[in-house]
Amino acid sequence: MTASVPTFSGYGLGLRKEHYRDFLETDVAVDFVEVISENFMVDGGRPRDILRRVRERHPVALHGVSMSIGSADSLDRAYLARLRVLVDEIEPLFVSDHLSWSRFEGFNSHDLLPLPYTPEALDVVCANIDLAQDVLGRAMLVENPSSYVTFDGSTMSEWAFIDAMCQRTGCHLLLDVNNIHVSAANHGFDPIAYLDGVPADRVRQIHLAGHSEGVDMLIDTHDRPVPPPVWTLYEHAMARLGPVATMIERDDAIPPLADLLDELATARVLGAVSQRQVAA
C-alpha cells in the first residue's frame, strides 16, 4: 500500500501565465499554487525554469489532465515516466488527475470523458491507479468529474464508486465542489448526499470554480467567479471534512490577480467559520 498523503490546510490559486510575473516578482498571499502537469513535462526551457523559481517561493501541486485513469488500454508508461521526472524535481504537495478517460487505441480526445459506474469500470480504474502510484512512488489524488451524460448500465452512484476506488487503491481525493454542483444540476441528484457519501478521510484538496449555463445544462467552464450555490456547498464540505487544502481554479477569462485573491479571501473566511462551527 502506498504511503498516505499528509494533510495540508492552506489556500491556493492555479498558476496561469497571465500571473507569472506577479508570482516571480512579488509576494503573493497564497499558501500554495497548482499547475497543469502537462505544461511542464518537457525537460528544460522557460516553462520549467519558471516552475523551479515559483517552487522556491511556494509549495506546488501538480494537476494532470491527460493520464486517462479510466482508459481500458491501461496507462501510457512513457507519460508516467515523464511525470515521475517532474515529481522528483518539484517534490509537489499533491499529484492529481481526473476520474475520466480520454485515450483509446492511440487516439486522444483531449477531453475528460465520463465513465459508467460498474464493477468492470472500477476494476479498470483501480488497476490504472495502482500502476500510476507504483511508477510515481506516491499516492495520487483523483478528482471527481463534471458530467453531461449518464450510463443506463451504471450500478452504483458516483460517490459509492469513488468510495470503493479509494478503499481498493489507497488513493486520495481532490474534491471539486463546482463539479458536484454541475453534475447534480445536470442529472438531478442531491449534492449534499454526494458530499456526505464520499470518504471524508481521503480528501486532501478542494477545487472551487465557476461554470456557465447552457441551454439544457450547466457547463464546467472555469471562466467566471465562484457562484453562491458552490460557496454554500463549500461551507457544507468544510464542516464535514475538517482542514484540507482549498484552491480557486480559473482557466479562461483570466481576471487580474487581485480579483482571484479576493475570492480566495472569501474561501478563507467561510472555511474558518465552518471549522469553528465544528469545534463548537
Q: Which residues, listed in sequence order, are joined to residue 218 by a DSSP beta bridge?
A: 213
- Residues ≥6 apart with Cβ < 8 Å to 88: none
**242, burial (CB in 10 Å: exposed 0-12, middle 13-18, buried 19+):** middle
The per-residue pLDDT for 113 is 87
Compute the radius of gyration of the chain from its Cα atoms: 18
CA atoms within 13 A on the CB side of 197: 18
**85 vs 243, more confident:** 85
| Percent of the residues in the chain that have a pLDDT greater than 70, as a whole number | 97
What single DSSP character describes residue 37? G
Confidence of residue 108 (pLDDT cuts 50, 70, 90): confident
Can you list the domains of the chain with their CATH numbers? Answer: 11-279 (3.20.20.150)
Average pLDDT, the chain: 94
What pLDDT, on a 0 to 100 scale, did the predictor assign at position 12?
Answer: 98
Averaged over 266-275, what is the pLDDT? 88
CB distance 165 to 128 below 8 Å: no
Residue range 247-257: mean pLDDT, rounded: 95
Dihedral sign, CA of 167, 168, 171, 173?
negative
Predicted local distance difference test score (pLDDT) of residue 254: 95
Among 42-46, 85-89, 171-175, 251-255, the range scoring the smallest mean pLDDT is 42-46
User: Per-residue pLDDT for 49 more than 80?
Assistant: yes
The pLDDT, as a whole number, for residue 214 is 85
pLDDT at position 88: 97
Alpha-carbon span 131 to 275, nearest angstrom: 36
- Residues in the chain, total: 280
Q: Assign 273 a pLDDT band (cuts: 50, 70, 90).
A: confident
Q: How many CB atoms lie within 10 A of CB 106?
A: 7
The average pLDDT across 208-217 equals: 92
pLDDT of residue 111: 79
Contact (CB, 8 A) for 263 and 228: no
What pLDDT sits at residue 1?
Answer: 55
Report whether pLDDT(135) > 70.
yes
Beta strands 107-113 and 101-104: pairing type? antiparallel
